[in-house]
């Protein structure tokens, strides 16, 4: 890794060249690199924390001056008990995941001695732009190297000293490994982003990790494919048949366990028949936790007079914009609908296709909702806060995608890979087939039969994963 | 299908609404629609051919006037023996492919009664822009409906009468099916393209099928993801150890079986040691077929004097631009390299990442090439012309992608799908896990165990496909 003063073009070209070398390293070489980075960061803890203290100092002053939020300062702090160790463990966790590349995921006998294989490989060069949290650099570096991708990392201004220290340590440790140092490059100055976003010849995928403003800016400024989500307007549709106690538990978790999360609940869609039964119980619990309820007229009418008068101020009439807003706060919009079809139409029109849930005991209603809601994650009787790579069992995630192509929902290592088609023959040519008289065999082969492309151990692993349902 | 006078915004919005209904139709309903379209087009053959005759008439006049190429006129002709029947058969072939959507491709037990499934689904709304060949409309319509996607189709001006006739017939047949007619919309006027490319709220994926100029225009004009390839600069690396007879057969097929194809050979990269042995034999065969050879100095020197004097005019010195050009003609650039590493570097720098081949008997050299060449298809001892969805066993293709994300190489039905994550629980919430004390189970389940989301028959099919190596 280098903390570079090169131009954006030079950075991108060097990453591209480095990526070609990284792509052909063995599983062992990539894993050994993660071991080396882990050891170096463990040893360099004092150095990193000293740099982090400088960032914290500056951030605290900015917070006092009112130019930085207290929660952002908190996210900067690498010295908090267990945080540095979690960062270190994260590197080993990624190392110990199955290798996502060089896996044969399909094989077809086109003709005798003419075998087509689909083999996973790295995407190439990633541009990752993230805000604040300095530990992300270690996490992303581990994911990139594990998946054989070069990465250009642009961190937030507030953690520049922490980034520089981590980058310098990773750089020193890379020098002892098979991974070229240009495969991880840190750029610090904000003014290079616009030029980096123009390097579509050398950069294959851009992943912005941060707020709506950052993501929209990136999407609007580049022809490089962008993986991510601008908004997390998550909804839950509460049916009248669902027990109030369970509904309350789920909705409280979805709204209040981390309101700043992109998977936090922003809209409660309520079946009309639940207005006077379940909704008052759920609403009371939300109000007691300090959640403002922005209700449409029907819901407001149903709730008025039924709630603790202390909470009256938190019961509000919704404006039209409330159903298209990511509050990221203790605010919830409440919308009344007559049926699951109306709920589906509302969510497809006003949600952000991130994560949406239905609470019901009815099988048919649930399946209608799960099939028709066009979101990356759709849930039945659980909290939208479940949308997370670690919770999904991916080990870790690079972000959550609301894209309609490539990778959708929480994106783990698989989302950083693509495949190539490998065809091995013995001088067969296209003109021999079709009008040429020869017929294609097109016989699906089990992944695991030797075609000379994969080592036996790898093939067994692939087969095992296919048999247990893993991609 | 409607031949529409609506605005681009209205077209896109209607397609989006239609797509929501199409997405939840059963396999049987989508297949029955393809049966109905097939029957209607079979019955309407005379009507279509009469319209096609008008296009041909206009095209022949344009060709005589020199404003249209003869090969384009040929591609317009639907009356050529067997062509209409091939178009009809293509619809049934697509119908009979396995359903690409509603397939469970992964399943994880997150905790007791908390099961996460990855289920394939349509992308949504496709915008497909294609040139000339009118039969493509039937092919693309079949692929879109089979995969549950709505499609907006923009055809070439030259075949406007044929398109209108086919569109009108498909439209009438859709009225008898479960597929909303807005799911297939034909737009004819060229000036709507720019506005359609702005509808990124309603259109999910754009597939341009045509020449370099069209594809580049589309890529540069939209923030909708684009699937396709601008260039097909395919290379073959000829090693000195490969038998001349097989090399000649493969290279002749790659260059001359269809020089206008995107998978045709444009660059022959030759190992230095083959210059005086294999190359003269291969070159002689190419020259006899009328292929101009644009050679670098070393290759030119090696070939001069060794070839039939009649071919002398076809033996030319290359200019620097010849190694970055898609000739689509009887022209081949020849580049000399010292090693496979030099060949890889040349191809990665000058190719278009479409399809590249190596001809060698050496295992290690071949595997080095296959691993390091960063192209969507990489071949060992066969012709680059093999890069084609039908030849790969996909039944048919929507095009060939050189993208680094989503779908790479020939794109079949799978490339028109994405997935959603479906999580089914019983009131578990996020705060119970991690710091909340509960542990995740993260147990991979075999795809095929019932989770209530898939019918048994479907699950068996998915399991069968996984077991035989299909995605």
pLDDT in tens, B352-404: 999 999 999 999 999 999 999 999 999 999 999 999 999 999 888 888 999 99
Cβ of A408 within 8 Å of Cβ of B420? The answer is: yes
CB A156 within 8 A of CB A51: no
CATH assignment, A234-393? 3.40.309.10
Q: Which of A5-9, B91-95, B330-334 has the lowest mean pLDDT?
A: A5-9
Q: Which residue in the set A20, A420, A467 is minimally distant from B375, CB to CB?
A: A420
Q: Closest residue of B to A222, CA-based?
A: B223
CB B118 within 8 A of CB A377: no
> What single string gives the DSSP state of each residue in B282-326?
HHHHHHHTT-EEEE-HHHHHHHTTTS-GGGGGGEEEPPGGGGG--
CATH assignment, B234-394? 3.40.309.10
Q: Closest residue of B to A124, CA-based?
A: B404
Q: Closest residue of B to A119, CA-based?
A: B371
Residue B228: which pLDDT band, with cuts at 50, 70 and 90?
confident
3-state helix, strand, coil in chain A (%, to 5): 45, 20, 35
Examine the pLDDT at A350 and tell me if it is beyond 60. Answer: yes
Cβ of A447 within 8 Å of Cβ of B469? The answer is: yes
A147 to chain B, closest Cα gap in Å: 14
pLDDT of residue A220: 87
pLDDT of residue A2: 52
Q: Which residue in the set A420, A433, A445 is minimally distant from B376, CB to CB?
A: A420
pLDDT of residue B189: 74
On chain B, the residues whose CB falls within 8 A of the CB of A382 are: 114, 423-429
Backbone angles phi, psi at A241, to 5 degrees: -80, -5
Q: Closest residue of B to A344, CA-based?
A: B20
A vs B, Cβ pairs < 8 A, gives 265
pLDDT of residue B458: 45
A262 to chain B, closest Cα gap in Å: 14
Q: Which residue in the set B124, B205, B409 is minimally distant from A421, CB to CB?
A: B409
Cβ of A408 within 8 Å of Cβ of B419? The answer is: yes
Tokens describing residue B159: 């075949």
Average pLDDT for residues B257-274, to the nearest whole number? 96
Residue B469: which pLDDT band, with cuts at 50, 70 and 90?
very low
Average pLDDT for residues B283-288, to the nearest whole number? 96
Backbone angles phi, psi at B430, to 5 degrees: -65, -35
Q: Find the helix packing angle between A160-174 and A27-43, rounded to 10°.
A: 130
Global ipTM: 0.91
Examine the pLDDT at B467 and tell me if it is beyond 50. Answer: no
B65 to chain A, closest Cα gap in Å: 34
Examine the pLDDT at A456 and tell me if it is beyond 90. Answer: no
Q: How far is A234 from B114, CA to CA, in rounded Å?
A: 20
Residue B448: which pLDDT band, with cuts at 50, 70 and 90?
low
How many CB atoms neighbour CB B374 within 10 A? Answer: 22
pLDDT of residue A229: 87
Cβ of A23 within 8 Å of Cβ of B374? The answer is: yes
CB B183 within 8 A of CB B203: no
Examine the pLDDT at A11 and tell me if it is beyond 80. Answer: yes
B280 to chain A, closest Cα gap in Å: 19
Examine the pLDDT at B57 and tell me if it is beyond 80. Answer: yes
**Tens-place pLDDT, residues A157-188:** 888 899 889 989 998 999 999 999 999 998 87
Q: Which residue in the set A388, A418, A423 is minimally distant from B408, CB to CB?
A: A418
On chain A, the residues whose CB falls within 8 A of the CB of B375 are: 420
**Tens-place pLDDT, residues B399-427:** 899 999 999 999 999 999 999 999 999 99
pLDDT of residue B243: 98
Cβ of A409 within 8 Å of Cβ of B420? The answer is: yes
On chain B, the residues whose CB falls within 8 A of the CB of A219 are: 223
On chain A, the residues whose CB falls within 8 A of the CB of B392 are: 108, 110, 116, 421
Q: How far is B106 from B117, CA to CA, in rounded Å?
A: 6
**Tens-place pLDDT, residues A301-314:** 999 988 888 887 89
Average pLDDT for residues A425-452, to the nearest whole number? 85
Examine the pLDDT at A462 and tell me if it is beyond 50. Answer: no
What are the b/e assignments for A432-470, b being 16+ CB within 10 Å? bbeeeeeebebebbebbeebebbeeebbebbbebbbbbb
Q: How wide is the angle at C-alpha B41 spanned by C-alphas B40 and B44, nearest 5°?
A: 85
Which residues have a Cβ under 8 Å from the Cβ of B154 and sit 6 or more positions away?
B127, B128, B129, B130, B186, B187, B188, B192, B193, B196
Return the CATH fold of A2-99+124-221. Aldehyde Dehydrogenase; Chain A, domain 1 (3.40.605)
8-state DSSP, B175: T
Q: Which residue in the set B423, B444, B471 is minimally distant from A106, CB to CB?
A: B471
**Tens-place pLDDT, residues A252-293:** 999 999 999 999 999 999 999 999 999 999 999 999 999 999
Cβ of A375 within 8 Å of Cβ of B219? The answer is: no
CB B137 within 8 A of CB B186: yes
Cβ of B380 within 8 Å of Cβ of A116? The answer is: no
On chain A, the residues whose CB falls within 8 A of the CB of B23 are: 371-372, 374
Q: How far is B263 from A429, CA to CA, in rounded Å?
A: 13
Q: Which of B430, B442, B468, B471 to mutate to test the interface with A (most CBs of A within 10 A)?
A: B430
Examine the pLDDT at A454 and tell me if it is beyond 60. Answer: no
Q: Which residue in the set A407, A427, A470 is minimally distant from B250, CB to CB?
A: A427
Q: Closest residue of A to B416, CA-based?
A: A405
First to last CA, chain A: 31
Cβ of A110 within 8 Å of Cβ of B348? The answer is: no
On chain A, the residues whose CB falls within 8 A of the CB of B411 are: none
Q: Which residue in the set A370, A374, A404 is minimally distant from B205, CB to CB?
A: A404
Sheet holding A417-424, edge to edge: A443-444, A104-111, A114-122, A417-424, B377-380, B355-359, B234-238, B265-271, B331-337, B292-295, B315-317
pLDDT of residue A448: 61
CATH assignment, B2-98+127-221? 3.40.605.10
A298 to chain B, closest Cα gap in Å: 27
Average pLDDT for residues B317-328, to the nearest whole number? 95
A171 to chain B, closest Cα gap in Å: 25
> Which residue has better confidence, A37 or A231?
A37
Examine the pLDDT at B335 and tell me if it is beyond 90. Answer: yes
Q: Which residue in the set B204, B375, B382 is minimally distant from A114, CB to CB?
A: B382
CB A406 within 8 A of CB B406: yes
Average pLDDT for residues B258-278, to the nearest whole number? 96
Question: Rounded to two decimals, what is the model's pTM?
Answer: 0.91
Cβ of A419 within 8 Å of Cβ of B405? The answer is: no
Tokens describing residue A57: 């100092």
Q: Closest residue of B to A436, CA-based?
A: B257
> What single string gives the DSSP state of each residue in A337-354?
ESSHHHHHHHHHHHS-SS
B287 to chain A, closest Cα gap in Å: 19
How many CB atoms neighbour CB A58 within 10 A? Answer: 18
Tokens describing residue B127: 């915008």
Average pLDDT for residues B244-269, to the nearest whole number? 97
Closest C-alpha among A93, A111, A193 to residue A152: A193
Q: How far is A132 from A158, CA to CA, in rounded Å?
A: 6
pLDDT of residue B306: 85
Average pLDDT for residues B300-327, to the nearest whole number? 91
Q: Find the helix packing angle between A160-174 and A45-64, rounded to 10°.
A: 160
Examine the pLDDT at B470 and tell me if it is beyond 70. Answer: no
Cβ of B392 within 8 Å of Cβ of A421? The answer is: yes
B410 to chain A, closest Cα gap in Å: 9
On chain B, the residues whose CB falls within 8 A of the CB of A368 are: 24
Examine the pLDDT at B75 and tell me if it is beyond 90. Answer: no
A409 to chain B, closest Cα gap in Å: 7
Tokens describing residue B133: 């060949």
B254 to chain A, closest Cα gap in Å: 8
Closest C-alpha among A1, A30, A19, A16 to residue A163: A1
> What single string gives the DSSP state of each residue in B439-464?
PP--EEPPBTB--SSS-HHHHHHHHH
pLDDT of residue B6: 84
Cβ of B425 within 8 Å of Cβ of A367? The answer is: no
On chain B, the residues whose CB falls within 8 A of the CB of A367 are: 453
- Averaged confidence pLDDT in chain A: 91
Closest C-alpha among A182, A160, A155, A157 to residue A170: A182
> Which residue has better confidence, A467 or A249?
A249
Q: Closest residue of A to B470, CA-based?
A: A106
8-state DSSP, A119: E
Where exactly are the structural domains of chain B? 2-98+127-221, 234-394
On chain B, the residues whose CB falls within 8 A of the CB of A421 are: 376-378, 387, 392, 408-410
Three-class HEC string of B67-83: CCCHHHHHHHCCCCCCH
**Tens-place pLDDT, residues A118-140:** 999 999 999 999 876 888 888 88
CB A264 within 8 A of CB A356: no
């Amino acid at each position: 890794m280098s903390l570079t003063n090169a131009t954006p073009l030079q950075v991108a070209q060097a990453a591209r060249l480095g990526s070609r070398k990284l792509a052909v390293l063995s599983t062992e070489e990539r894993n050994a690199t993660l071991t080396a980075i882990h050891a170096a960061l463990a040893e360099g803890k004092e150095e990193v924390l000293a740099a982090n203290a400088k960032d914290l100092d500056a951030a605290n002053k900015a917070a006092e001056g009112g130019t930085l939020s207290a929660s952002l300062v908190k996210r900067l702090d690498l010295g908090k008990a267990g945080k540095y160790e979690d960062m270190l463990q994260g590197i080993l966790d990624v190392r110990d995941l199955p290798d996502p590349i060089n896996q044969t995921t399909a094989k077809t006998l086109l003709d005798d001695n003419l075998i087509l294989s689909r083999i996973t490989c790295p995407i190439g060069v990633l541009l990752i732009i993230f805000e604040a949290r300095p530990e992300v650099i270690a996490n992303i570096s581990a994911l990139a190297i594990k998946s054989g991708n070069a990465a250009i990392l642009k961190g937030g201004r507030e953690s520049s000293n922490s980034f520089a220290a981590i980058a310098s340590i990773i750089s020193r440790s890379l020098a002892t490994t098979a991974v070229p140092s240009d495969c991880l490059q840190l750029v610090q100055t904000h003014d290079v982003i616009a030029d980096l976003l123009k390097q579509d010849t050398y950069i294959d995928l851009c992943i912005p990790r941060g707020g709506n403003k950052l993501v929209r800016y990136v999407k609007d400024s580049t022809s490089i494919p962008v993986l991510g989500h601008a908004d997390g307007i998550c909804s839950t549709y509460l049916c009248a048949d669902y027990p109030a106690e369970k509904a309350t538990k789920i909705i409280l978790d979805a709204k209040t366990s981390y309101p700043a999360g992109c998977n936090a609940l922003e809209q409660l869609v309520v079946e009309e028949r639940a207005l006077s039964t379940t909704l008052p119980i759920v609403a009371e619990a939300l109000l007691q936790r300090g959640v403002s309820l922005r209700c449409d007229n029907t819901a407001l009418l149903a709730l008025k007079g039924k709630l603790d008068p202390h909470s009256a101020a938190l019961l509000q009439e919704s404006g039209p914009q409330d159903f298209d807003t990511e509050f990221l706060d203790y605010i919830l919009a409440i919308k009344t609908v007559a049926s699951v079809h109306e709920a589906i139409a509302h969510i497809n029109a006003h949600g952000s296709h991130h994560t949406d849930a239905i609470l019901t005991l009815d099988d048919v209603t649930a399946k209608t909702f799960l099939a028709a809601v066009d979101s990356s994650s759709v849930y039945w009787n659980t909290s939208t806060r479940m949308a997370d790579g670690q919770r999904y069992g991916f080990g870790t995630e690079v972000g959550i995608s609301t894209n309609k192509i490539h990778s959708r929902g929480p994106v783990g290592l698989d989302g950083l890979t693509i495949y190539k088609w490998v065809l091995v023959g013995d001088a067969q040519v296209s003109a021999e087939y079709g009008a040429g008289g020869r017929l294609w065999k097109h016989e699906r082969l089990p992944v695991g039969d030797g075609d000379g492309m994969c080592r036996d151990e790898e093939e067994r692993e692939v087969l095992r994963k296919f048999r247990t349902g893993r991609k």
